[in-house]
Amino acid sequence: MQNNKPFVNQQINKMSFVYKKNLISQIFKLHKAAKVFNEKGRILDQLSISKEPYMQVQSNVDKVLEILDPKHSSLLIKEFIEQDKEWIEKYWSKSSYYKHIHKAIDEFIYYLYS
């Protein structure tokens, strides 16, 4: 297996912050839709309505969130899943927030695509 980490880093560095943030936003929207779909499948399986057996699969997004720096993981969850903007002001200044969100997004993309 070829090591593509330098290539992934180069590609991440070429992307603008706005592009990366939009990319992550879309990934988390798809992740949310997949979780809803999985929950429906689980319920149908419990009710014995579904013809296909239900199989819970951990998504790549969940796997990446588990291996990220916990600070970055919670930042991405608050930003893109819970969409809670008010909590930021309680913990960080704007400059600290932007520094950490940049690192969190880069780290997330790196692990997701490498």
Single pTM value for the model: 0.70
Amino acid at 27: I
pLDDT, tens only, 47-94: 776 556 545 556 788 889 999 999 999 999 988 888 877 888 888 888
> Tokens 């930042």, residue?
75
pLDDT, tens only, 37-59: 777 777 776 777 655 654 555 67
**pLDDT for res 35:** 79
Cα end-to-end distance, the chain, whole Å: 12
